[in-house]
Structure 1
Amino acid sequence: MPGRQNPTLRQRRLGTELRRMREQAGLSNSQLARLLGTTSAYVAQVENGKSSVTVERLHAIAATCMCANQPLIDALADIIVDREKGGWWEEYRGILSTDFLEVAELEAGAQRLATYTSTFIPGLFQTSDYARVLFAQTYPPLAQQHVDLRVTFRMRRQQAVRSLDLPHAAYIHEAALRMRFCESTVLVDQLESLIVGSERPGISVRVVRFDADVLPSPSENYAYMAGPIAELDFAQMDTGHGGQLFDAPAHLARFRALIAQMESSALPEGESRDLIRSIKDEVESKHA
């Protein structure tokens, strides 16, 4: 069977976990292939996410690798069962970069979210006008139709996440609330929308003040998507060259520690709303 040319993020993660399962059992690629009665090439393709694997084959691999982590096996089986269900983001494949699609795919498979932004309002809380300003300021400049496409995609992401009722802890640095890269009316509307959004069930918006004692590193914007089990969590960080994904246990542990630091240094929810409202009133009064 020919391999997939473009495996999805979850298909690649399935392969990664199967490779880890094999390595933890101390088996080489060829040893596992021999025990399963298949070829090394097939094992390599599966571990790269480029060849499909059935639930039965998954159980055979887990048994051969002496994996006793039943929650992990069940979660991987769910990925296999869901693999033919294309998400809404697939409509944009080949039109938008995979960075956009992968974030949407991660959110669709998450059980809860945690985000930190230091330069702008989190994407899942942005108004369309605010998002349009952000995309219009990318370099090199985008054509208007591509700006509109990205805004539409972001609004669909918001709708999709809200329909899932995912718990979301959003930590926002005060600098992001005060950035004036858009017209004051756009910023005022955005801050008001953020206040309203922060009052939805399951949503926690907390501000990290300029004078916070601790500012967890890294200072970049990042998101943590908790999967059905901890082993299938993902972290994503914005960089100057696009989004970077992390799934290695050591990296995930580091991001969990960063979020715990954020939890201890950010203002409580009520005080955060008060600060956002005061900044909104300040912007309004200066440009009345």
Structure 2
Amino acid sequence: MPPRTTATARQQRLGAELRRLRERAGLSTREAGQKLGVDPARISNIESGRFGVSADRVRTFALGYDCSDTGLIEALREMTAGRSRNWWDDYRETLPSVLLDLAELEHRATEIRTAQFTHLPGLLQTTDYARLVFRQNVPVLPPPEIEYRLSHRIKRQGILYRDDPTPYTAIIHEAALRMQFGGADLMREQLVHIAEMSERDGVDVLVLPFSAGIFPGAGQTVVYAEGPVPQLDTVQLDTEHGSEFLHAEAQLVKYRTIMERFENASLDAASSRAFILGTIANS
């Protein structure tokens, strides 16, 4: 396969998983190359995502690295499937690649959990709310890019409306619900939308109230996207310098624990819906 000029987060992840398998087998790239009959430089390029790799070769690598986890091997083989054009590719020349990677991550996730503390979840935002979020960007975005980002965000929400919607749990801190972002009317419309979405199959909205007191983490937005096997889960963090994708084993274990603690500290789905409706009534 010819080298790529750029690799998507998914392609880089496949390479990273193959590198993990090699390292767990205690093999250097030179030793792996000798064992598998592959140029060590090619192995390095595959692991970096610069070179593609076939499904058959993934199986050869995994078996050569003494991996007996058939579920993981098949999931990695699926990641090599020929990349057909998807809706987010229409934004490749207009938006940062990290936003396209996020759309693909959500599209392929088997389940998504998110925790939000100041802004409301992107997959549950109304058009007016999302537009205001983008207007707060630093540096300031030009109006055309705001509209591109808005269109992209709304299309991301399609995973909640398709015939087989992705199971989605949104943990929202009370602070985000009570913040008068854009004024009372806009927030009322936004909260009504969230309450309505919480009635949809596969969508759970959980409120983390002020009364819960202390909670783990530093209050940053967390998205936990489950893969076909736990080893292929991914954590996405929103930071002031952009999105970060985490998938090291220790990181996944940490954020699984954090998300479980968030859920345990939150109101249940029915109580959360009542809380949101009460907030609307008092706004």
Structure 1 length normalisation: TM-score?
0.95
Instruction: Find the counterpart in structure 2 of residue 276 from structure 1.
Output: 276
Spell out, residue by residue over 1:167-204, the C-alpha distance to the aligned partner (whole angstroms, 9 max, x if none).
Answer: 11110000001111202211111000000000101111
Instruction: Find the counterpart in structure 2 of residue 18 from structure 1.
Output: 18
Which stretches of structure 1, 4 residues or longer, exceed 4 Å deviation after superposition?
none
1:240 deviates by 0.8
**Counterparts of 1:235-254 in structure 2 under 5 Å?**
235-254=235-254
Partner Cα distance (1:148, 1:176) in 2: 24
Paired amino acid for 2:198? S
Number of equivalenced pairs: 282
Instruction: Find the counterpart in structure 2 of residue 118 from structure 1.
Output: 117
Q: Name the SS of the counterpart of 2:223 in structure 1.
A: strand
Partner Cα distance (1:144, 1:208) in 2: 34
Partner Cα distance (2:62, 2:182) in 1: 53
Q: Name the SS of the counterpart of 1:80 in structure 2.
A: coil
Paired amino acid for 1:231? Q
Say whether the 8 Å CA contact 2:56–2:77 is kept in structure 1.
Answer: no
**Counterparts of 1:127-138 in structure 2 under 5 Å?**
127-138=126-137
**Counterparts of 1:35-54 in structure 2 under 5 Å?**
35-54=35-54
Say whether the 8 Å CA contact 2:72–2:231 is kept in structure 1.
Answer: yes
1:161 deviates by 4.2
Spell out, residue by residue over 1:13-65, the C-alpha distance to the aligned partner (whole angstroms, 9 max, x if none).
Answer: 11001001111111100111122222111000100011111122112111211
Paired amino acid for 1:147? I
Partner Cα distance (1:34, 1:86) in 2: 36
Paired amino acid for 2:110? Q
Paired amino acid for 1:91? D
Say whether the 8 Å CA contact 1:115–1:223 is kept in structure 2.
Answer: yes
**Bigger mean CA deviation after superposition, 133-142 or 116-125:** 133-142
Say whether the 8 Å CA contact 2:113–2:223 is kept in structure 1.
Answer: yes
Paired amino acid for 2:191? L
Instruction: Find the counterpart in structure 1 of residue 89 from structure 2.
Output: 90
Say whether the 8 Å CA contact 2:94–2:145 is kept in structure 1.
Answer: no
Give the unaligned 5+ runs of structure 1: 284-288
Paired amino acid for 1:122? P
**Counterparts of 1:88-237 in structure 2 under 5 Å?**
88-163=87-162, 164-237=164-237
Give the unaligned 5+ runs of structure 2: none
Partner Cα distance (2:213, 2:132) in 1: 32
Instruction: Find the counterpart in structure 2 of residue 258 from structure 1.
Output: 258
Q: Name the SS of the counterpart of 2:255 in structure 1.
A: helix
Partner Cα distance (2:132, 2:124) in 1: 14
Partner Cα distance (2:159, 2:226) in 1: 17
Partner Cα distance (1:276, 1:160) in 2: 23
Partner Cα distance (1:219, 1:75) in 2: 32
**Bigger mean CA deviation after superposition, 105-114 or 205-214:** 205-214
How many percent of aligned residue pairs carry the same amino acid?
37
